[in-house]
């Protein structure tokens, strides 16, 4: 039995996700919903969680004189409520403070012993802020590409991993003063010793998108350096190594292991505590990871390297779906400059399903995408309303008007060439949609779903069943029957993206719960002719054509209100 692990990169809990961040969590939800129909609910897990350790939260807590966990408790709950409102359903949305996670990380890292070496490292300390400056807390010029705003762990421009001591002209990110460097012992994970295995895996895994493979291979060709696993911060998972009692684990090393610990936690809660192994060690497992391209290095190098070094046969990632950047009206999202829309604001502007559709239509699968309100109005009015909504309305109205709300009978002897061609086209498009979902190309799947809707609308315009019924009720019935076939396939394939609206279409068709069906059913079975179906109920509404001009004002009004409801850490 095929098992499917769906994972989205753990969002950092100290900021409300913006559209570009929630896109990864939404993509995972879409994938998991598809996979459940295709492979069976019990064979799919969707895991993620809050990444809650790290220096920013430690500093914030110190400033407020509270425990870091009291801040992350609230923020974690708040994020979960946002994901609920977006209809994002996880099997388990865990957190890095979970006991299961902490225990798993500590025991996992202890088993990497032969790959770990202890070395002196020069690390920056700010004598003004009185804090060690790990990772994002030190900035400077990238020694590889010259980018002036590189961080201590990674350069945002060229994506390479960095060390604080390799930055040119380093500065404390809090006070901008030059740090002093002191020596301390750190525990390093020796990436170079798995270099060959990694290269082989990257070259032989055909499911990796090109951007992931090329980027990761180019880093390997430059030679991988040991990465330090430990940090001198207090807020984090205590390092399990002997003599490292004062240290904590670098957030990325532990958060990546969260995919496994969250699976363990999920099945333990289900009372089926060994079942996670059939996903992580089974011979027939597919895994999908949803993330932004800035996280490629962690998922295509660090995570597989750790899994390889564990000496156990963990399944390595198959599909690393790393998207390019999403821009907002041509600019990068920026909290301080208030550029963008945040995930708790969005549902107050438009219904969540509109957002799900908009984000998947704007998913940057091959190149950066630019979210604009002008384009959003077009997508909602012409694609969601005209292509999809109208098709359902037209067909159900015809069934009501000419067939007394009963599904017509298919008279095979009365099919003409157009009818036959359309009937052949349905499974063809469905196959394309299935392939898109299999490859985690969700935007492409949405295009093929729209092709299906347009096929239906074009077919009705061509055949005009309201005219032909005057001459032949059988022929008109055939056209309507075929149009109903299209709607059924469209609703099922749209379900991962628009779960509620697709269910409404199923309800109108009298078909019951979508989740009870199998992905292949919609093309393998006939319609129950003679069965009564429901009347059409409106699915979507059009936006006013100048909505794009009014939205900023609307946004500034709701923004104040939303901000008062955010927990302390997220204000
Ligand atoms: Zn760089
Ligand atoms: Zn400082």
What is the residue-wise DSSP string for 447-501?
Answer: HHHHHHHHHHHHHHHHH-HHHHTTT-HHHHHHHHHHHHHHHHHHHHHHTTT-HHH
Q: Give tens-digit pLDDT for 433-475.
A: 999 999 999 999 999 999 999 999 999 999 999 999 999 999 9
Residue 136: pLDDT over 90: no
188 CA from centroid of ligand 1 (Å):
22
258 CA from centroid of ligand 1 (Å):
28
Ligand positioned closest to the Cα atom of 127: 2
Ligand positioned closest to the Cα atom of 180: 2
Ligand positioned closest to the Cα atom of 144: 1
154 CA from centroid of ligand 1 (Å):
8
Structure tokens at 520: 């292949």
Mean pLDDT over residues 78-87, rounded?
98
Residue 62: pLDDT over 90: no
DSSP for 125-177, please give it: EETTTTEE--GGGEEEE-TTT--TTEESSB-TTT--B--GGG-EEEEETTT-P
19 CA from centroid of ligand 1 (Å):
26
125 CA from centroid of ligand 2 (Å):
8
Residue 337: pLDDT over 90: no
Ligand positioned closest to the Cα atom of 141: 1
Residue 411: pLDDT over 90: yes
Q: Which residue has 């399990």 as its token pair?
A: 240
Ligand positioned closest to the Cα atom of 173: 2
Q: What is the pLDDT of residue 370?
A: 97
Q: What is the pLDDT of residue 118?
A: 96
Ligand positioned closest to the Cα atom of 132: 2
Residues 6+ apart with CB under 8 A from 237: 53, 96, 101, 102, 105, 106, 248, 249, 254
Q: What is the pLDDT of residue 429?
A: 98
129 CA from centroid of ligand 2 (Å):
5
Residue 571: pLDDT over 90: no
Which has the minimum average pLDDT: 308-317, 443-452, 520-529? 520-529
Structure tokens at 455: 């096929």
Structure tokens at 282: 């089974």
Report residues near ion ligand 2: CB below 5 Å.
126, 128-129, 172, 174-175
Give every strand in the sheet of 168-172, ordered side by side. 150-151, 138-141, 168-172
Ligand positioned closest to the Cα atom of 179: 2
Q: What is the pLDDT of residue 307?
A: 98
Strands 3-8 and 44-50: parallel
Residue 139: name the closest of 102, 111, 170, 94 by CA: 170
172 CA from centroid of ligand 2 (Å):
5
Long-range contacts of 403-407 (CB under 8 A, 24+ apart): 403/477, 403/480, 405/532, 405/533, 405/534, 405/535, 406/529, 406/530, 406/531, 406/532, 406/533, 407/481, 407/484, 407/527, 407/528, 407/529, 407/530, 407/531, 407/533
Indicate the SS3 state at residue 303.
helix
Measured CA angle at 380 (ends 445, 455), to 5 deg = 50
Q: What is the pLDDT of residue 253?
A: 94
Backbone angles phi, psi at 150, to 5 degrees: -75, 150
Residue 133: pLDDT over 90: no
Instruction: Enumerate the β-bridge partners of residue 334.
Output: 339
Residue 374: pLDDT over 90: yes
Ligand positioned closest to the Cα atom of 137: 2
Report whether 489 contacts 450 (CB < 8 A): no
Mean pLDDT over residues 386-393, rounded?
98
* Angle of helix 473-494 versus helix 499-508 axis, rounded to 10: 150
Mean pLDDT over residues 268-288, rounded?
97
């Amino acid at each position: 039995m095929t098992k499917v692990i769906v994972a989205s990169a753990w969002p950092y809990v100290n900021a409300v996700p913006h559209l570009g961040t929630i896109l990864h969590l939404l993509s995972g939800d879409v994938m998991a919903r598809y996979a459940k129909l295709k492979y069976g609910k019990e064979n799919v897990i969707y895991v993620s969680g809050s990444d809650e350790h790290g220096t920013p939260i430690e500093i914030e807590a110190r400033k407020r004189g509270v425990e870091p966990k009291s801040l992350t408790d609230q923020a974690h709950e708040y994020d979960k409520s946002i994901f609920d409102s977006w209809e994002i359903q996880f099997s388990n949305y865990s957190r890095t403070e979970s006991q299961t996670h902490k225990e798993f990380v500590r025991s996992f890292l202890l088993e990497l012993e032969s790959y770990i070496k202890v070395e002196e490292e020069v690390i920056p300390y700010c004598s003004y802020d009185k804090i060690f400056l790990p990772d994002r807390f030190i900035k400077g010029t990238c020694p590889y590409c010259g980018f002036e705003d590189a961080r201590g762990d990674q350069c945002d421009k060229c994506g390479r991993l960095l060390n604080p001591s390799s930055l040119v002209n380093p500065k404390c990110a809090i006070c901008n003063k030059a740090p002093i460097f002191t020596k301390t012992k750190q525990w390093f994970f020796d990436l170079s010793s798995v270099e060959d295995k990694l290269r082989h895996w990257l070259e032989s895994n055909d499911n990796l998108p090109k951007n992931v493979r090329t980027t990761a291979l180019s880093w390997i060709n430059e030679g991988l350096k040991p990465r330090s696993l430990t940090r001198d911060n207090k807020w984090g998972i205590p390092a399990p190594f002997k003599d490292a009692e004062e240290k904590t684990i670098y957030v990325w090393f532990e958060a990546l292991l969260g995919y496994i610990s969250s699976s363990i936690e999920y099945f333990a809660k289900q009372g089926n505590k060994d079942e996670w192994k059939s996903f992580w060690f089974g011979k027939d497992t597919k895994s999908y990871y949803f993330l932004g391209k800035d996280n490629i290095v962690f998922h295509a190098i660090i995570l597989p390297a750790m899994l390889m070094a564990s000496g156990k046969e963990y399944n390595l990632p198959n599909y690393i779906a790393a998207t390019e950047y999403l821009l907002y009206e041509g600019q990068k999202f920026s909290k301080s400059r208030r550029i963008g829309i945040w995930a708790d604001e969005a549902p107050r502007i438009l219904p969540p399903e509109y957002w799900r559709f908009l984000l998947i239509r704007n998913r940057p699968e091959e190149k950066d995408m630019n979210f604009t309100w002008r384009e959003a109005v077009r997508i909602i009015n012409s694609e969601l309303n005209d292509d999809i909504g109208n098709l359902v309305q037209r067909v159900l109205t015809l069934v009501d008007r000419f067939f007394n709300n009963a599904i017509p009978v298919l008279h095979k002897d009365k099919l003409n060439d157009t009818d036959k061609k359309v009937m052949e086209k349905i499974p063809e498009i469905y196959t394309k949609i299935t392939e898109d979902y299999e490859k985690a190309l969700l935007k492409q799947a949405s295009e093929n779903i729209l092709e299906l809707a347009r096929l239906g609308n074009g077919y009705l315009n061509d055949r005009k069943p309201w005219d032909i019924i005057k001459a032949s009720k059988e022929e008109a019935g055939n056209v309507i029957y075929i149009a109903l076939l299209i709607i059924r396939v469209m609703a099922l394939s749209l379900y991962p993206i628009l779960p509620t609206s697709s269910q409404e279409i199923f309800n109108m068709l009298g078909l019951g719960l979508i989740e009870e069906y199998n992905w292949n059913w919609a093309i393998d079975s006939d319609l129950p002719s003679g069965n009564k179906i429901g009347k059409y109920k409106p699915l979507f509404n059009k936006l006013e054509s100048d909505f794009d001009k009014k939205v900023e004002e609307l946004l500034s009004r709701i923004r104040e209100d939303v901000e008062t409801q955010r927990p302390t850490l997220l204000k």
